[in-house]
Every structure is written in C-alpha cells, then in structure tokens.
Amino acid sequence: MTNYFSSDFKLGILGGGQLGKMILYETRKWDIQTKVMDGSKEAPCKIACNEFVLGDLLDFDAVYSFGKDVDVLTIEIENVNVDALEKLRDEGVTVYPQPEVLRTIQNKATQKLFYRDNSIPTSEFSRFAYTSEIKESIENGGLRLPFVWKSARFGYDGQGVKIIRNISDLEGLPNVECIAEQLVDFKNELAVIVSRNSKGEAVTYPVVEMEFHPEANQVEYVICPARINEKVAQKAQHVAKQVSNAFEHVGLLAVELFQTQEDEILVNEVAPRPHNSGHYSIEASYTNQFEQHLRCILGLPLGKTASKVAGVMVNLVGSEGHNGNVVYENIEDILSQEGVTPHIYGKKQTRPFRKMGHVTIVNENMGQARLVAQEVKEKIKVISK
C-alpha cells in the first residue's frame, strides 16, 4: 500500500477549474501533495495545490512534461492531450481515467459507437464526417427531422449542440465531424455517478434528477434523490454501472441519462470525472464525490455513497447583460435560510451563463429543500458592477 498521507507521493491534476478546486479540498484534508496544470493564470486551483503550472492542456509537450514527475495523474476536464497521457502511462505513470477511455469519450461519435458495441441503451444516431453531409442525407430520406446535431469534438456546457427542426436550422453550424441524434421524448433527465477502482469494485451514487435552463442548456437544479420510482432508479443505476464496467473505467464516471415516456433508460453522455450533478454530495452524502474520486484512483476502499439528507443544487451562472468584475447580490439573504451553502468558484469575471458557483440546499425533507432552492434561485444574482 502506497503511503499517500503527508508523504512524498504526488498527484497530478490536469485542469485547474472549479472541479479541481473541490478535489483540492480533499487532497488538503488528507495532506496529499498535488501539482496542477491549467491554461489560465487566474485558475481557481492556483492556490491550495502544492505546485501550479501554467500550460496548455491540449499541447503534447506541456502535458507530457507536466506528468513526468507525478505518481498518479488525473484530470478535472476531459479535453486534454491524450497522446501525452498514453506516453506517460507507457513510461510508468499511473493515469486515471485511462487514456483510451478519454479518447473514446472525447469524440461523441466514437462514444456513441462504444455504447452500441457494448449493448448499452442509447438513442439512435448517425455519424457524419462533415456537417455538410447532413443536408444530403435528409434529402435522400436517410435522416428524418427533427434531430439533435452535436459536434463530435469539444462539446462542453451547451456548446456544440443544437436541435434541428428545419433544414434552415443547419445554417451557421461549423462544418465538422458530427452526429445526428434522435430527439428523445423524455420524462426526466437523470444522472448517476459511478465510482470504480482498479480492482473492478464499482459503487453508484443515488440517481439525481436534473432540470435544465431552457436557454443556456445548463443544469439549473440537481435534485437528490430523483423523484422517480424505485424500479426506474434501479434500472438507471444498473445502466450506469454497465457503462463504467464496459470502459473498465477507474475513477468517477458521471452518466447522464434520459428516462423516456415508456420508462426506458437511455445513456445520453458521460463525463469521466467529478461532475456538476454530484456537487450536492459535499453537503448531503456520507462520502462526497471528490473524496470518492481520490479513493478510486488511489486504490483506497470506496466510501459510502448514500445520503445523510436530501439535497438540491442550484448553479450560479452569470446573468445576461453582465460582463466584468463579479458581484453576488443577496447572498446574505440566502444565508439566512437553513441548510443553504453557497460555493463561489473564484472566477473574478462574470459573463452571461458562465458557471460562477453553486448553492447546495440540504434538508431532511426533500419538498422543503426544493422550496428553498427556488427562493435561492430567484433571489441571488450574479452580476457585474
């Protein structure tokens, strides 16, 4: 057993945003040495790690030289240079999630093919080398409207996704590798975080329910546990575990799911890391997702994923029409409510829909938590002054 605590062991983290920042709470708690790389001098991870390196996460040389002297390398964002990770792994650095998992996930087309190849339920889709091929396919009768267009690469937080209802909706899209996905008529969007270690032990978190902001395509509320029946919950957890096992993934895998009108469960997409849908776990769970990620990648026993109390998470995103130095309005009002915990990521500049923080509301009673969450959402404003 490696001695991780107050030792010379060094964990490398690619990416220095809010997810990395919250991983650092846990490395600090256990006094695990960390080295973080990010492309921004103002990355939220800049302090609280032992060593910060400014570098381009997509650059082979930057990632390779960053990873050479760490013992275990992980990520907090999936868009990193995978070739460098493979070379590091081949040279003896432990890399979790595994480079091949990242490679498959980075491309939405190969991700979808992976589900198909592994008999994982997902919506129908077609793959195109260029967006320009789509029009022809519709005209040939090969593809029917409406559908969801997704660029194969670098879709993140609503970028690179568009619902196509008419051919004219295709105008202005980048001419890139993409997929056209069947538009799923769903009752709920759900998510399940699976934690899995290298021994193949896998434990799922409870199913959460997500409500999206209609314009920004960003999660507005995450509700744990989801208000669904036990049978659907079990099916969702089963499917999520199936994905993690198919990847033989080590670390956290956040699996976003559709619950269809017929109570089918379809995999939408996955993120191989701590995830927005698991932020509630800091206040609500026996083991929060960031600690659990460390347990997975360090080969420590997996923690208990059950909740102590019900949790609702509200994302704090920049208000429309505001660009500049951020001010959080009415935060003192929301602090006067019971069980309310704001998390401020530390980004100094706000812009419309930028993820600036989140607020977790916990309560013994889910209904009460959801009510307070609504008040929080209505009161707090992320603006510039």
In the set 140, 166, 168, 336, which binds a second copy (CB under 8 A)? 336
Q: CA 317, CA 352: separation in Å to the nearest integer? A: 7
Measured CA angle at 347 (ends 269, 250), to 5 deg: 35
Q: Say whether residue 28 binds a second copy (CB under 8 A).
A: yes
341 counts as binding a second copy under rule CB under 8 A = yes
Q: Which amino acid, residue 231? A: K
- Pick between residue 78 and residue 291 the one whose CB is nearest to a second copy: 291
The yes or no reply on residue 331 touching a second copy (CB under 8 A) is: yes
Residue 181 CB neighbour total at 10 angstroms: 22
Q: Is 326 exposed, middle or buried (0-12, 13-18, 19+ CB in 10 A)?
A: buried
- The number of beta carbons lying within 10 Å of the beta carbon of residue 305 is 20
**77 is a contact residue toward a second copy (CB under 8 A):** no
The backbone torsions φ and ψ at residue 136, rounded to the nearest 5 degrees and listed phi first, read -60, -45
> Which residue type, as a one-letter code, is found at position 383?
I
Structure tokens at 358: 């989140």
Q: Is 212 in the site for a second copy (CB under 8 A)?
A: no
* Cβ-contact 145, 165 below 8 angstroms: yes
| Closer residue to a second copy, CB minimum distance, 99 or 318 | 318
Residue 180 near residue 128, CB atoms below 8 Å: yes
Which of 99/357 has CB closer to a second copy?
357
By CB under 8 A, residue 53 contacts a second copy: no
Does 301 bind a second copy (CB under 8 A)? Our answer is yes
Question: Beta strand pairing status for 202-204 and 340-344?
Answer: unpaired
Distance (Å, rounded) from C-alpha 20 to C-alpha 5?
19
Q: Contact between 49 and a second copy (CB under 8 A)? A: yes
The answer to whether 42 contacts a second copy (rule: CB under 8 A) is no
Among 210, 303, 353, 355, binds a second copy (CB under 8 A): 303
Q: CB 249 → a second copy: shortest distance, Å?
A: 21
State the burial class of residue 344 (Cβ atoms within 10 Å of its Cβ: 0-12, 13-18, 19+). Answer: middle
Task: Decide if residue 271 touches a second copy (CB under 8 A).
Answer: no
Contact between 371 and a second copy by CB under 8 A: the answer reads no
In the numeric block, the tokens 């998510």 are attached to 191
Within 8 A by CB and 6+ apart from 92, the residues are none
Among 39, 55, 158, 346, binds a second copy (CB under 8 A): 346
Q: Is 150 assigned to a binding site? A: yes
Contacts of 230 (CB under 8 A, 6+ apart): none
**Contact, 334 vs 309, CB < 8 A?**
no
Which residue from 39, 55, 121, 342 is in contact with a second copy, where contact means CB under 8 A? 342
Tell me: is residue 248 an annotated ligand-binding position: no
Among the listed residues 309, 366, 371, 383, the single contact to a second copy using CB under 8 A: 309
In the complex, what is the shortest distance from the CB of residue 139 to a second copy, in angstroms, rounded to a whole number? Answer: 51
Among 5, 140, 159, 262, binds a second copy (CB under 8 A): 5
Residue number with CB closer to a second copy (36 or 93): 36
- Give min distance, CB of 367 to a second copy, in A: 17
Half-sphere exposure of 197 (CA within 13 A, CB side): 15
Q: Does 23 bind a second copy (CB under 8 A)?
A: no
Question: What type of residue is 348?
Answer: K
Q: Which of 9, 60, 186, 328 binds a second copy (CB under 8 A)?
A: 328
Annotated binding site for ATP: 108, 150, 181-184, 189, 268-269
Interface positions with a second copy (CB under 8 A): 1, 3, 5-7, 21, 24-25, 28-31, 47-50, 286-287, 291, 295, 300-301, 303-304, 308-309, 326-328, 331-332, 335-336, 338-339, 341-348, 362, 364
